[in-house]
């Protein structure tokens, strides 16, 4: 029998003195029993890709927020049946907002103004389900912020060369650009200054240059030989 299925696994079952059932299973498409297809093994929908918002986009707290993902695609040509959306505050394991659209699903989600708290950074992701009930993998996460950008400044950090001259600083709002050079409005040069933070997971200090991004509530240490660092009047998230 040639039904186009590849690499089948043959199985037999039955009791002594009774007719036996001969079957085989192919992971690519079907389960065959005595030459008849009894079920079809189908594929998951293609994992969606996030379209917008992305990468620290700042959204107004007074306007409706729209999340948009890539068009639905399914290897078996099934149609879109369900969409799961998930949003959580940055560094929070608790889901802040979720929406299940089953059926009447769409590739975008409108969130009424005021649903998400301003002054916070959010991570979001989405997955699709097809009309056969197969569910895609979750998309990769991306980030956005809700609020209004306002200028803000912090005190100077005096210069020094000794251990006791290290200054500690933290910020209370999410910066539009979390890079230390953007927050301090400087060109970083390790000959004249040091910047870093403590990683409680590894129990070690991380110096600037290892993808450090400044975030609220975290302490950063600074040592500068000849300069006075001042957090510039850059735009920072307004609570």
Mean pLDDT of 134-159: 83
Question: Which helix or strand (DSSP H or E) is residue 182 part of?
Answer: helix 180-184
In 59-74, which positions are buried (b, 16+ CB within 10 angstroms) versus exposed (e)? Answer: bebeeebebebeebeb
Q: Identify the pLDDT of residue 122.
A: 92
Q: How far is CA 96 from the centre of its chain?
A: 14
Dump pLDDT digits (tens) for 120-131. 889 999 999 999
Q: Are 62 and 28 within one domain?
A: no
Q: How many domains in the chain? A: 3
Say if residues 83 and 127 touch (Cβ distance below 8 Å): yes
Pairwise CA distance, residues 18 & 16, whole Å: 6
Q: Are 124 and 166 within one domain?
A: no
What are residue 180's phi and psi, to 5 degrees? -55, -35
Q: Are 71 and 141 within one domain?
A: yes
Structure tokens belonging to residue 89: 């505050």
Dump pLDDT digits (tens) for 184-239. 777 777 777 778 888 888 888 888 776 788 888 888 888 777 655 554 444 444 44
10 Å CB burial of residue 43 (0-12, 13-18, 19+) is middle
Cα angle 15, 17, 19; round to 5: 70
Q: Are 168 and 137 within one domain?
A: no
Q: Are 226 and 173 within one domain?
A: yes
Please determine, for residue 57, whether its predicted confidence score (pLDDT) is greater than 50: yes
Domain that holds residue 103: 50-146
Dump pLDDT digits (tens) for 61-78. 899 999 999 999 999 999
Mean pLDDT lowest for which of 5-14, 80-89, 152-161?
A: 5-14
Q: Are 131 and 183 within one domain?
A: no
Q: Are 141 and 76 within one domain?
A: yes
Q: Identify the pLDDT of residue 21.
A: 45
Task: Give the whole-number percent of the chain exceeding pLDDT 90.
Answer: 28
**pTM, full prediction:** 0.66
Q: Are 76 and 56 within one domain?
A: yes
Mean per-residue pLDDT of the chain: 76
Identify the three-state secondary structure at position 12.
strand
Q: What is the DSSP string of 33-89?
A: ETTEEEEE--PPPPPP-EEES-TTEEE-TTS-EEEEEPPP--TT-PPEEEEEEEEEE
Please determine, for residue 3, whether its predicted confidence score (pLDDT) is greater than 80: no
Is residue 2 situated within a structural domain?
no
Q: Are 155 and 231 within one domain?
A: yes
């Amino acid at each position: 029998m040639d039904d186009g299925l590849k690499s089948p696994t043959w199985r037999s079952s039955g009791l002594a003195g009774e007719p036996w059932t001969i079957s085989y299973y192919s992971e690519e498409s079907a389960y065959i029993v005595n030459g008849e297809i009894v079920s079809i093994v189908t594929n998951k929908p293609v994992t969606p890709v996030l379209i917008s918002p992305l990468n620290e986009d700042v959204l107004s707290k007074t306007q409706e927020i729209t999340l948009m993902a890539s068009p639905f695609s399914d290897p078996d040509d099934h149609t879109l049946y369900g969409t799961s959306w998930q949003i959580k505050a940055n560094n929070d394991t608790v889901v802040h907002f979720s929406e299940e659209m089953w059926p009447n699903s769409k590739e975008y989600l409108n969130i009424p103004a005021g649903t998400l708290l301003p002054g916070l950074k959010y991570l979001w992701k989405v997955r699709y389900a097809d009309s056969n009930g197969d569910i895609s993998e979750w998309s990769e996460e991306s980030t956005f912020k809700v609020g209004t950008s306002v200028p803000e400044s912090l005190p100077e950090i005096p210069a020094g060369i000794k251990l006791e001259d290290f200054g500690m600083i933290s910020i209370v709002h999410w910066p539009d650009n979390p890079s230390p050079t953007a927050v301090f409005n400087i060109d970083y040069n390790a000959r004249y200054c040091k910047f870093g933070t403590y990683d409680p997971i590894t129990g070690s200090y991380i110096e600037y240059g290892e993808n450090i991004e400044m975030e609220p509530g975290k302490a950063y240490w600074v040592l500068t030989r000849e300069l006075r660092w001042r957090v510039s009047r850059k735009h920072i998230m307004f609570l």
